[in-house]
C-alpha cells in the first residue's frame, strides 16, 4: 500500500529515516509543490495578496513554533525580532544597495544575534516569567529603534526601499512577489522539518519535556535554549525582511505587541510542536478577520442596516467574534488544527476497514 507503512519495506537506513518514508506522502509533497507553483495562474491579484500574507505569516509562525512548541520557551517578542530583521534589511538595501536575496539572510542573522541576547534570561527563568522577559524585549527593541535616528531613518521611523529586482526582473506585482516569497517559505518549512529530526532538534525536545533530566544525560540546556532563540529569531528576521521587501517600507508599526500575540495565537491554534500546524495557524489567523468582514457586512445588509452608519459597531463586533471563535476553538480542540488533520489522516490510513 502506498499510504501505509505496512508493505513498504525499507532496505537502507537512509530510506527508513527519510522525511517521507511512505510513497503517498512523497507523491503528495511533489503534488503540493506543483500546486503552489501554479497558484498564480488560478487566482486574481486580490487573492494572490491574501496568499502572500499567509505565506509570510507561515514563515514567522514556523520560527516561533521551534522556540515555543519544540523547546518549550514562551516568547512574546516575535514581533520585535521581525522588526529587527525588517530594519536590518531596509538599511542594507536603501543605504548600501544590497540586493534583496542578500538582505533576507542578513536580516535573519541580525535578528538571530538580538534574539540570542534576549534569550539569555531563559537559563534562570521559565514559563510566565520568561514570557514577561520577552515582552520587555518587545518594548526595548521598539523604543531603541524609535529613538535611534540612524536605525529608524528619522521622520516617523520609516525607511523606504526601491522595488526589489532579481536578474533585472522587477518584483512589482502580487504574482511576482509570490515567487519571491514562496521559495523562502518552502526552504523554511523543509529546514524546520529536518531540524527537529536532528540531534539539535531532539535536544530541543528534551529541554522542553524535562530540562533537568536533559542536563543529567549531557544536553547543554543553556546552549540549546540560546540556539532555539537564535533559530526562532532568524526565522522572524527573514519574515520581517520579506515583509519589508513586500511593502517596500520598514516601519515599526507593522511589528507591535499585537503582532507578537497574533503569532502566538497562530501556533497555539495550529498546533504546538508541529511545523505543518504553524502553516494551518497562519492560514486561520490571516483569513478569519477577512471572512468575518464579509459575514458581518452580509448580516448588516440582510437586516437592512447601512454599513457606513454602524461601521464602528460592526468593527468592534468583528473583534469580539474573532476572540470568541479563538476561545471556542481552543476549548473544543486544544491540540490545534494539526490534531484534526491527524484524525483525518488516521481515518484514511485504515479506510475502508476502519475499527
- Hey, is 165 helix, strand or coil? strand
- Regarding predicted confidence, which is higher, 219 or 8? 219
Q: What is the mean pLDDT of the chain?
A: 85
pTM recorded for the entire structure: 0.89
N-terminal to C-terminal alpha carbon distance within the chain = 18
Question: Could you give the C-alpha distances from 129 to 75, 80, 121, 294, in angstroms and in order?
Answer: 10, 18, 10, 39
| Residue 153, pLDDT above cutoff 80 | no
Helix (H, G, I), strand (E, B), or coil: what is residue 75?
Answer: coil
Give the mean model confidence (pLDDT) for residues 246-265. 89
Listed in sequence order, the residues at least 6 apart from 98 whose beta carbon sits closer than 8 Å to its beta carbon are 89, 92, 106
Q: Give tens-digit pLDDT for 66-108.
A: 999 899 888 888 899 999 999 999 999 999 989 999 999 999 9
Of residues 197, 181, 216, 234, the one with CA closest to residue 48: 181
Question: Hey, is 12 helix, strand or coil?
Answer: coil
| Grid cell in block for residue 51 | 496568499
* pLDDT 10s digits, 179-231: 999 999 999 999 999 998 889 999 999 999 988 898 898 889 989 999 999 99
What percentage of residues in the chain have a pLDDT greater than 70? 93
- Residue 354: what pLDDT? 62
pLDDT the model gives residue 4: 60
The DSSP element (H or E) to which 321 belongs, if any, is helix 311-332
DSSP 220-263: -HHHHHHHHHHHHHHHHHHHHHHHHHHHTEEEGGGGSHHHHHHH
Q: Is the pLDDT of residue 239 over 80?
A: yes
Q: What is the largest CA-CA distance in the chain?
A: 69
107-121 tens-digit pLDDT = 999 999 999 998 888
Residues 219 and 222: their CA atoms lie apart, in Å, by: 9
pLDDT at 89: 93
State pLDDT tens for residues 298-349.
777 777 776 666 667 666 766 777 777 777 777 777 778 888 888 887 777 7
> Residue 293: its pLDDT value, please?
77
Amino acid at each position: 500500500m502506498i499510504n501505509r507503512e505496512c508493505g513498504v519495506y525499507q532496505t537502507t537506513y537512509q530510506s527508513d529515516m527519510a522525511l517521507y518514508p511512505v510513497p503517498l506522502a512523497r507523491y503528495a509533497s511533489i503534488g503540493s509543490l506543483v500546486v503552489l507553483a501554479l497558484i498564480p495562474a488560478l487566482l486574481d491579484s486580490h487573492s494572490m495578496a491574501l496568499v502572500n500574507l499567509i505565506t509570510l505569516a507561515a514563515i514567522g509562525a514556523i520560527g516561533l513554533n521551534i522556540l515555543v512548541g519544540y523547546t518549550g520557551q514562551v516568547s512574546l517578542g516575535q514581533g520585535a525580532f521581525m522588526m529587527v530583521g525588517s530594519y536590518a534589511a531596509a538599511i542594507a538595501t536603501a543605504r548600501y544597495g544590497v540586493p534583496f536575496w542578500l538582505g533576507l539572510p542578513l536580516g535573519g542573522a541580525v535578528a538571530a544575534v538580538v534574539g540570542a541576547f534576549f534569550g539569555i534570561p531563559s537559563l534562570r527563568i521559565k514559563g510566565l516569567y520568561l514570557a514577561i522577559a520577552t515582552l520587555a524585549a518587545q518594548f526595548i527593541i521598539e523604543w531603541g529603534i524609535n529613538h535611534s535616528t540612524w536605525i529608524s531613518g528619522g521622520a516617523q521611523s520609516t525607511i523606504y526601499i526601491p522595488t526589489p529586482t532579481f536578474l533585472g526582473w522587477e518584483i512589482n506585482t502580487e504574482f511576482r512577489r509570490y515567487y519571491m516569497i514562496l521559495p523562502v517559505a518552502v526552504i523554511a518549512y523543509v529546514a524546520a522539518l529536518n531540524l527537529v529530526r536532528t540531534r539539535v532538534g531532539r535536544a530541543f525536545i528534551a529541554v522542553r519535556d524535562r530540562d533537568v533530566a536533559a542536563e543529567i544525560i549531557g544536553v547543554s540546556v543553556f546552549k540549546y535554549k540560546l540556539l532555539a532563540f537564535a533559530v526562532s529569531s532568524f526565522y522572524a528576521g527573514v519574515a520581517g525582511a520579506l515583509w519589508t521587501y513586500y511593502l517596500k517600507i520598514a516601519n515599526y508599526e507593522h511589528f507591535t505587541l499585537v503582532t507578537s500575540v497574533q503569532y502566538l495565537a497562530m501556533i497555539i491554534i495550529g498546533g504546538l510542536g508541529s511545523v505543518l500546524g504553524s502553516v494551518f495557524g497562519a492560514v486561520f489567523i490571516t483569513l478569519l478577520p477577512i471572512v468575518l468582514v464579509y459575514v458581518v457586512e452580509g448580516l448588516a445588509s440582510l437586516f437592512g442596516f447601512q454599513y457606513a452608519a454602524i461601521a464602528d459597531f460592526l468593527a468592534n463586533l468583528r473583534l469580539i467574534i474573532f476572540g470568541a471563535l479563538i476561545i471556542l476553538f481552543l476549548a473544543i480542540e486544544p491540540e490545534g488544527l494539526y490534531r484534526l488533520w491527524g484524525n483525518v489522516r488516521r481515518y484514511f490510513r485504515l479506510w475502508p476497514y476502519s475499527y
